[in-house]
Structure 1
Amino acid sequence: MKKTTTEAPERLQLDEAAIEAARQDIGDGAVTPGYGPWRDDIVRLLNDALATELVCVLRYKRHHFTAKGLASPAIADEFMVHANEEAAHADRLAERIVQLGGEPDFCPDGLSERSHAGYDESAELKAMVKSNLVAERVAVETYRQMIQLVGDKDPTTRRLLEEILNDEEEHADELADLLEQR
């Protein structure tokens, strides 16, 4: 019988040097040195997502107030629900940016350039639904990519992005259903 030797598995241990570093610079709040060199990149990604959410709020509100036709009251109501949910996403993103020691960029100058989704001035209901569906699909893809980029570098931000992604997927499904009904 062959005798095998197994090495003891590596023990799970906390990084005491990182814990000691966390005792320093307490003015940084929740941002500890463990955030490493990615904090600024994460804040930039979040500010771009913030711009996207704000543009989506504006597009949905415009569509809510300008929708016309027999089916428009129900669809317009859905547009307002989505606008409010996108505004809540923007608030959560801004809050996280501040937690990371950054500044949320609400400046209207350049908002549309930073946004991943476009603004839309469609006047026809079906075109409005389609425009919003395209924007939601873009949001789904950008949040998916951001989640991959952030990975384990910032678990709190990753969870936030995953929660928002879930909402965006629901929005896309709802809009796809509305488009099929038209």
Structure 2
Amino acid sequence: MSNQATETLSLNEEAIAKARSCLSEGAVTPSIQPYAEQICKLLNDALATEWVCVLRYRRHYFTAQGLESPAIAGEFLVHATQEQQHADKLSERIVQLGGEPKLDPASFSARSHADYDESTDLNDMIRANLVAERVIIEVYRQMIAIIGDKDPTTTQMLKSILADEEEHADELSDWLAQ
């Protein structure tokens, strides 16, 4: 048997032994364990941000007024729904990593990377949402860089959310340009 085949067999045996050793820890394998708590903290702050975005978009959906408001308000509702889906994904991943999603609404503003907004002018609403999207885009990029290959599943999830946030920013930028 070649050295490479022996090394592969040894790696497989080691992976099997590690997998069997802590079955109760679910997705938290030994390679993620040292980082799980820090990753959960990052995800919980992103979770607070997503909830603030859900609330901001929904407020804007209900209060948007003006000639172009029905179309833009509809887009706000679509974005609110997608932000809620992001929050759900983040919550699920936090639990998979052995953490607890921090869903106390009183803590959202302090932990959120984006601001809540009570604008009544349609252009101000669009601008506030665009600023928030641009902030969270940068935050997700930084999180992806920090987490990297320490937790590929979380990194992949964040990349998927990032793509949605970039799409939101493009749509809002288009509305603002009109």
TM-score range for the pair, normalised by the shorter chain length: over 0.9
1:100 to 2:97 alignment: yes
| Structure 1 residue 19 displacement after superposition | 3.3
Which of 154, 158, 162 is the aligned partner of 2:155? 158
| Structure 1 residue 18 displacement after superposition | 4.5
| Structure 1 residue 17 displacement after superposition | 3.4
Gap change, CA 1:10 and 1:112, over 3 Å in 2: farther
Distance 2:158 2:104 in 1: 22
In structure 1, list runs of 5 or more residues that go unmatched: 1-8
Distance 2:174 2:34 in 1: 43
Q: 2:138 corresponds to which residue? A: 141
Gap change, CA 1:10 and 1:116, over 3 Å in 2: farther
Cα root mean square deviation, aligned: 1.7
Amino acid in the other structure paired with 1:22 = A
1:18, 1:33 within 8 Å by CA — same for their partners in 2?
Answer: no
Amino acid in the other structure paired with 1:169 = E
Which sits farther off after the overlay, 102-111 or 122-131?
A: 102-111
Q: 1:6 corresponds to which residue? A: none
| Structure 1 residue 10 displacement after superposition | 6.9
TM-score, normalised relative to structure 2: 0.93
Which of 59, 67, 72 is the aligned partner of 1:70? 67
Give the structure with the higher percent helix.
Answer: 2
1:30, 1:99 within 8 Å by CA — same for their partners in 2?
Answer: yes
1:20 to 2:17 alignment: yes
Q: Where do 1:80-91 residues align within 5 Å?
A: 80-91=77-88
Q: Deviations over 1:137-176 (max 9, x none)?
A: 0010000000000110000000000000000000000000
Amino acid in the other structure paired with 1:40 = E
User: Displaced runs of 4+ in structure 1, greater than 6 A?
Assistant: 9-12
Which of 31, 38, 44 is the aligned partner of 1:47? 44
Q: Deviations over 1:78-113 (max 9, x none)?
A: 000000000000001101111111111111121111
Distance 2:74 2:176 in 1: 15
Which sits farther off after the overlay, 28-37 or 171-180?
A: 28-37
Which of 168, 173, 176 is the aligned partner of 1:171? 168
Which sits farther off after the overlay, 45-54 or 9-18?
A: 9-18
Distance 2:163 2:134 in 1: 12
In structure 2, list runs of 5 or more residues that go unmatched: none
**Greater radius of gyration (CA):** 1
Which sits farther off after the overlay, 27-36 or 52-61?
A: 27-36
Number of residues of Structure 1 aligned to a counterpart in Structure 2: 174
Q: 2:31 corresponds to which residue? A: 34
Distance 2:12 2:102 in 1: 34
